[in-house]
Amino acid sequence: MKVKKVSEHIWSVKIWVGFPIHVWLVVDKDGVTLVDAGISIMSNTIIKQIESLNAGPLKRILLTHGHADHVGAIKKITKTYDVPVYAHQIEIPYTEGELPYPRRNKAQQLLPKELLHPLEEDENGVLLPIGNLKPYHTPGHSPGHVVYYHEVDRVLLAGDLFTTKKGKLRGPMSVFTADMVQAVESSTIIPELNPVKLEVCHGDAITHPANQYTDYRKKMEKKDY
Ligand SMILES: [Zn+2]
Ligand SMILES: [Zn+2]
């Protein structure tokens, strides 16, 4: 497992299981936020890294979405730290096993009921900032997929909205993606925010991803994924 400093306030923890899985630790004034929770064998490394940051306790866990490879370490981490876990309200019934994810036959309970809290929204359904991060609803890979933007560091934690390969922006893994057309529409978050760095769960980071955006759209419109 590998721990890497991403930017002034963000660290990533990565494991390789035939493909990479990343989670992120974001340092706030009052403590640490974990974004995504990988798979269970990452738990101890994540906890050790929270301790070695010496930046206060874990405050919360934020999920980009509820797929199994993003929630695995929650059980152990919430035993060590009694913290709330947040996801978009649309994602919660899928992760709690009430609804099957689109294109799946069966519902699967990935987390115990009542563990997940919905991310707060204003009266227009716009997600409110949490910790130092601003969530944006980016459906497609899953119905309630969210990305988190750190405005100070200009880093976008994009979960599974994209993958990357050899420094190139790629679409999300198609077999696990609920609605690819919608995921491509949600990718406009890149030119909207123009992050300096894009972090994805299953791939290496990309700097200035907006430079590749036109090529990305062309490729995806040709259904080259
Ligand atoms: Zn996923
Ligand atoms: Zn994933």
Reading the chain (225 residues) residue by residue, the pLDDT tens digits are 999 999 999 999 999 999 999 999 999 988 999 999 999 999 999 999 999 999 999 999 999 999 999 999 999 999 999 999 999 999 999 999 999 999 999 999 999 999 999 999 999 999 999 999 999 999 999 999 999 999 999 999 999 999 999 999 999 999 999 999 999 999 999 999 999 999 999 999 999 999 999 999 999 998 876
Give the ligand whose atoms come closest to the C-alpha of residue 202: 2
CA of 47 relative to ligand 2 center, distance in Å: 21
CA of 173 relative to ligand 1 center, distance in Å: 8
CA of 54 relative to ligand 1 center, distance in Å: 30
Q: Please tell me the number of Cα atoms within 13 Å of 141 on its side-chain side.
A: 23
CA of 105 relative to ligand 2 center, distance in Å: 19
d(CA 7, CA 32): 14
pLDDT, position 30:
83
Give the ligand whose atoms come closest to the C-alpha of residue 21: 2
Which two three-digit tokens encode residue 220?
Answer: 């995806």
pLDDT, position 218:
95
CA of 142 relative to ligand 1 center, distance in Å: 7
Q: Please tell me the number of Cα atoms within 13 Å of 159 on its side-chain side.
A: 37
Check: CB of residue 66 under 8 Å from CB of residue 111: yes
Q: With H, G, I as helix, E, B as strand and everything else as coil, classify residue 210.
A: helix
Give the ligand whose atoms come closest to the C-alpha of residue 19: 2
pLDDT, position 65:
98
Check: CB of residue 18 under 8 Å from CB of residue 26: no
CA of 123 relative to ligand 2 center, distance in Å: 30
**Chain centroid, CA 119 distance in Å:** 13
The residue type found at 106 is K
Name the strand (E) or helix (H) holding 130.
none
Nearest to 149 by CA among 26, 39, 2, 47: 26
pLDDT, position 175:
93
How, if at all, do strands 20-27 and 32-35 pair? antiparallel
Provide the residue ranges of all domains of the chain, joining segments of one domain with +. Answer: 2-122+131-221
pLDDT, position 41:
98
Domain 2-122+131-221 has CATH 2.102.10.10: no
Which two three-digit tokens encode residue 26?
Answer: 């974001």
Residue ranges of E strands in the chain: 2-7, 10-16, 20-27, 32-35, 58-62, 85-87, 116-118, 134-137, 146-150, 155-157, 163-165, 168-170, 197-199, 206-207
The residues pairing with 63 across neighbouring beta strands, listed in sequence order, are: none
CA of 116 relative to ligand 2 center, distance in Å: 18
Give the ligand whose atoms come closest to the C-alpha of residue 37: 2
Q: With H, G, I as helix, E, B as strand and everything else as coil, classify residue 177.
A: coil
As residues whose CB is below 5 A from the ion ligand 2, the structure lists 69, 160, 201
Q: With H, G, I as helix, E, B as strand and everything else as coil, classify residue 175.
A: helix
Give the ligand whose atoms come closest to the C-alpha of residue 200: 2
pLDDT, position 223:
82
